[in-house]
Chains A and B, each alone.
Chain A
Amino acid sequence: MARHPDNDLIPYLRGELPPAERERVARHLEECPDCKQDAEVLRDLLGNLAHAMGQPPGVSWGRYRAELSEKLDARRRQIGWRRRPMPLALSASLAGVLLLVAVWGGREISKRGDPIGPDEVVIGQEFGLLQDLHTVERLDLLEDLEVLRNLDGLASEHQS
């Protein structure tokens, strides 16, 4: 005898099985009294279950829909608040704080200057620039025409 069609009995009783499977289960039930009895018990059980589950306590549907409407409105407000642009005062304050941080941070960074890398040290030694670091640091003075004109005088003053 083929295997017992336990899991197929309920779909069989509901007429859901495709023809070939249905035929197989029907044939089995004819040959197997246990499964046939099982199928009959299941049929009765399925019929009784609807009664056994009972009915829920009554609900006022008008009130139910009113509550639903309130909950939906609350959800919409919640979503709307999340999507709403920030109030003007808050946006302006935030922009101000960001500007301050940017300016202050920029000044700190410019004070620190760029660190001298090992490559730059090698090149500097080759050209003797680091030996006169204080002059190199003041190269921006060369932009001043007066300084350029008196460059020799400045050098002699520095030596004395």
Chain B
Amino acid sequence: MEPADEALCERVARRDEAAFELLVSRYQERAYRLAWSILRNAEDARDVSQEAFIRLYETAGTFRGRSKFSTWFYRILVNLCLDHKRKHKWWKLWVRDDDEDRAETILDRQPAPVNDPVDKLSREATLKALGSAIDRLAPRQRAAVLLRVQEDMATYDIARVLKCSEATVRVHLHRALATLKKTVEKR
């Protein structure tokens, strides 16, 4: 039987390298994908997700098991992403558009198979607009949406990751989806 994440984290606190390797291999893809969804830059996503694993290694002893390991780890990761965005906000506005990865991936998205080419184009255009609208959301709104949609997290867990109340998460989600809904309706 595979050891639970929480048990592995306890072993990491005792500096068990094998347990750390296992946790990294379990979470590396999710951590990188979530970081990329928030930061929209592959290099930054790689750096920040790796930093989250280093923090996990350093602070595993502080995990008390009051929440799921995934919630605790995502809190570290999302905080690092939001800090990174805050620090690089003005720099990126000045230097370049932080949307550089999007251009390559927008056509790689996987719309549901549709036979009518006009419908397909329309759907792709809608998804593209939706993707851009997600990028323009406020960072915490975007994080809430990503945790809900990508990680399928419950409101309670999102609240623990973002360190706010469930009511606040509901407001974040409602506002974010209201904005996205407008984007779709405009098309």
Q: Residues of A with Cβ closer than 8 Å to B?
A: 6-11, 14, 16, 38, 41-42, 45-46, 48-57, 59, 61, 64-65, 67-68, 71-72, 75
Contact = CB atoms under 8 A, between A and B. Distances in A.
A45 B184 contact: yes
Given A53-B37, A57-B104, 14 more contacts: A10-B148, A41-B181, A45-B177, A45-B181, A50-B149, A51-B112, A52-B109, A54-B108, A55-B33, A55-B108, A57-B42, A59-B42, A65-B25, A67-B50
Interface in B94-135: 101-102, 104-106, 108-112, 126-128, 130-131, 134
Q: Which among A45, A71, A75 has the greatest number of chain B C-beta atoms within 10 A?
A: A45
10 contacts: A8-B170, A10-B177, A49-B180, A50-B150, A51-B110, A54-B106, A55-B105, A64-B32, A67-B46, A68-B50
A75 B54 CA distance: 8
A38 B181 CA distance: 9
A6 B177 CA distance: 11
A7 B159 CA distance: 14
A103 B156 CA distance: 66
A74 to B, nearest CB: 9
Nearest to A63: B46
A53 to B, nearest CB: 6
